[in-house]
Amino acid sequence: MASKGPRIKLNIRSKLLLLLMLPLAGLLFFSANSALDRSFISEEMSDLDALAGLSTKLGALSHELQKERGMTAGFLGSKGVLFANELPLQRKDTDQKQKEFVEALSGFNRGAYDAVIGEMLDESGNNLKDLASKRSSVTAQKIRSTDAIGYYSRTINSLLNVPHRATTMSDDAAVAQRALSYSNLLQSKERAGRDRAILSNAFAADSFSSSLAKTYLANDAQEQTYLDEFLFTATPEQKSFYKSKHTGQAVNEVKRLKRLANRNTDGGKLGVDAGHWFSVATSRIDILKTVEDKLASDLHTATAELHDTAQTNFYLFIGLALGGVLVALVLAFLTVRNITRSTGRLSSAVAKVAEGDFEARSEVTSGDELGDLSKAFDTMLDERVGGLVKAEKESEMLNTSIIAILRSVAKLGKGDLTIKAPVNEDITGALADSINQMSEGINDTLAHVNQASNQVRQTSTKARDITGQGKETVMNTAKGMNEIRGTIQETAKRIKRLGERSQDIGVIVKLIDDISERTNVLALNANMQAAQAGEAGRGFMVVADEVQRLAESSKEATDQISKLVNSIQVETGDTIATMDKTIEEVVQGGELAEQAASQMELVEQTVAQLDALGIDLAQAVGAFTLTESAEQVQAAPLKQAV
């Protein structure tokens, strides 16, 4: 059997961190790569800007060499007559620009550029080393004009090759276009300078030699070609600047003289003052130098802006990379913490369950797979714990069944024949069935006795209830008669007092009657006196009549009251006699009710004794049957065992 290699044990946190290392490394790689690209662009623009600055020095030196070349050609063509005084001064200007170029070249980092740039600079330096000897030959007129012009042209061309090389150094289209426009203008300006030198020689000699004419025509065609290239690659702003500057009398005069020279390239007399030509050609070249400086400034601005943009993008990418890494680390930390926390809770819950804590739950509420796993784990625990609880309940139910059977047997032994042992589908079922059969046998045996006993008890109970109700009714009747007797006696007393008050009323009525008679007599007397008084007693007579009528009415009322009082006195006497008789009858009824209550109590005691005899009979028969059935229950397991 092949042996297994060693296992590397890693926890989930370590595995997740290892898993996140690859995308983080990729993020760092691509971020660093992008940042390096911006850094490369920044360095490229910085190098290109430095080269553009050096090109400015090269252009300035080339410009002075071009003027020196033109004067040299005129000097040689005129046999030393023309530019004899101007040429030494121009050489000093050239030397000053050469000095500035050498100083700029000393601080120039040639190692940042390709080998071609270095070779071009070396070639320019070697050509400049021969400048002093060439000047001596020109001063001594020991060199042909074509050789002198060729030297200056080679030297200037080696210098102008450096800006032209800059057009291939940038991948940015705008910068490359500006560099190309600048290079085309330099080349066109160089051809203009060559024209100045060639025509200065021709005008000084007043005619073209055949070789010089060919050189002029070829150079003029190259000048126009480079000018067209410049106008094609220049920006609209640069074109507008060129057109605004390349105008005026000097430009028009150069065009006129060049047309004249083009018509006489076959060797005819030119008839042009070489000094005049050199002056107007130099003015035009100075205009081109202004445009050259503008293009050099535009190239420097473009490279500086692109350098700044690349530098800003470099730091921006560095910041974004660091921010992305930081965000990735934070997300990784949160993710790892969430996963490890969830797995930790699951692991802790499993450990607790393994230790017997069935109430433990993972309680992971995340909405991912770990949350689903936690829910499934908790559900599984609930089902398993539910099964254990169910088994425990069934065990408890079994114990309860056995205990209930034992209690049933105990109660049967004590004579409780109403007990029923619970029958379950377990091992206690047979025993419970035996007990229940025994109980049913006892119940069947005692059924008739219990029925008879129950009938006796029911009859005695009904009799006891009826007797009790009768006794209660008789007692209530006796009590009610006693209350009636008291009420009647009280009523008799009040009626008697009413009779006495009616007699008092009769006396008062008689008194009022006497007063009425006297008042009537007085009214008659008053009436008579008023009649005797005549008219004066008429008013008093009216009063006397009213008093007499009032007295008569009072007498009639007293007569009626007297009759009513007499009637009340008669009826009161009759009522008192009747109530006395009723009281005697109520007393006799109460005595009879008390005697009936005593008899009812004796009946109740007799019924209770009958009920007790029936219960004793049922218990005696039950005890006899219970003993016999218990012996059968004890023998049943033995029979089953045999």
The pLDDT tens digits of the residues spanning 292-301 come to: 999 989 988 8
- Indicate the angle between helix axes 131-139 and 86-106, nearest 10 degrees: 180
pLDDT in tens, 496-534: 787 777 677 777 777 777 877 787 787 778 777 777 777
pLDDT score at 291: 94
Q: Bigger pLDDT: 247 or 335?
A: 247
Q: Bigger pLDDT: 94 or 267?
A: 94
CA distance 490 to 479: 17
The beta-carbon contacts of 388-392 under 8 Å, at least 24 apart in sequence, are 388/358
Give the largest Cα separation in the chain, rounded.
210
- Given a cut of 70, whether residue 620 has pLDDT beyond it is no
Q: Bigger pLDDT: 232 or 552?
A: 232
Which residue, chain included where needed, has tokens 């600055």? 53
| The pair of three-digit structure tokens given for residue 428, joined into one six-digit string | 């206690």
- Given a cut of 50, whether residue 626 has pLDDT beyond it is no
| The pair of three-digit structure tokens given for residue 27, joined into one six-digit string | 């993020």
pLDDT in tens, 379-415: 887 777 777 767 777 767 766 766 776 676 666 666 6
| The pair of three-digit structure tokens given for residue 387, joined into one six-digit string | 């099964």
Q: What is the mean pLDDT of residues 470-495?
A: 74
Is 374:342 a contact under the CB 8 Å cutoff? yes
pLDDT in tens, 157-170: 888 888 878 777 77
Contacts of 492 by beta carbon, 8 Å cutoff, 6+ apart: 576, 579, 580, 583
pLDDT score at 255: 94
**CATH superfamily, domain at 429-641:** Methyl-accepting chemotaxis protein (1.10.287.950)
- Given a cut of 80, whether residue 477 has pLDDT beyond it is no
Q: Which of 481, 472, 554 minimizes the C-alpha distance to 520? A: 554
Is 226:96 a contact under the CB 8 Å cutoff? no
Q: What is the mean pLDDT of residues 219-240?
A: 93
- The amino acid occupying position 323 is G
CA distance 177 to 294: 15
pLDDT in tens, 170-214: 778 888 888 889 889 988 988 998 898 899 889 988 989 888 999
pLDDT score at 253: 95
pLDDT score at 224: 93
- Indicate the angle between helix axes 173-205 and 249-263, nearest 10 degrees: 60
- Given a cut of 50, whether residue 336 has pLDDT beyond it is yes
pLDDT score at 632: 53
Q: What is the mean pLDDT of residues 209-229?
A: 92
Which range is least confidently modeled, 244-248, 308-312, 407-411?
Answer: 407-411
CATH 1.10.287.950 in the chain is located at: 429-641
Q: Which residue blocks in 78-166 are alpha helix, DSSP H?
A: 86-106, 115-129, 131-139, 145-165
Q: Find the distance separating the first CA and the last CA of the chain, reported in whole Å.
A: 61
pLDDT score at 622: 52
pLDDT score at 2: 46
Q: What is the mean pLDDT of residues 309-318?
A: 79
| Cα-based angle 286, 289, 292 (whole degrees, multiple of 5) | 160
pLDDT band at 420 (very low <50, low <70, confident <90, very high): low
- Given a cut of 60, whether residue 618 has pLDDT beyond it is no
- Indicate the angle between helix axes 131-139 and 115-129, nearest 10 degrees: 30
pLDDT in tens, 530-573: 777 777 767 767 777 777 787 788 778 778 877 877 886 787 77
Q: What is the mean pLDDT of residues 285-291?
A: 93
At residue 127, the 3 state secondary structure works out as helix
pLDDT score at 613: 62
At residue 422, the 3 state secondary structure works out as coil
At residue 632, the 3 state secondary structure works out as helix
CA distance 454 to 468: 20
Count Cα neighbours of 577 within 13 Å in the Cβ-side half-sphere.
6
Whole-number percent of the chain with pLDDT over 70: 75
pLDDT band at 115 (very low <50, low <70, confident <90, very high): confident
pLDDT band at 53 (very low <50, low <70, confident <90, very high): confident
| DSSP letter assigned to residue 207 | S
pLDDT score at 116: 84
Q: What is the mean pLDDT of residues 419-444?
A: 62
Which range is least confidently modeled, 86-95, 191-200, 606-615?
Answer: 606-615
- Given a cut of 50, whether residue 426 has pLDDT beyond it is yes
Q: Bigger pLDDT: 219 or 455?
A: 219
CA distance 455 to 437: 26
Is 412:611 a contact under the CB 8 Å cutoff? no
Q: Bigger pLDDT: 525 or 279?
A: 279
| Cα-based angle 553, 559, 565 (whole degrees, multiple of 5) | 135
pLDDT score at 382: 77
Which residue, chain included where needed, has tokens 């991948």? 171
- Given a cut of 70, whether residue 8 has pLDDT beyond it is no
Kind plus residue range of the DSSP H or E element containing 266? none
The pLDDT mean for the chain works out to 78
pLDDT score at 456: 53
Which residue, chain included where needed, has tokens 């276009």? 177
- Given a cut of 90, whether residue 287 has pLDDT beyond it is yes
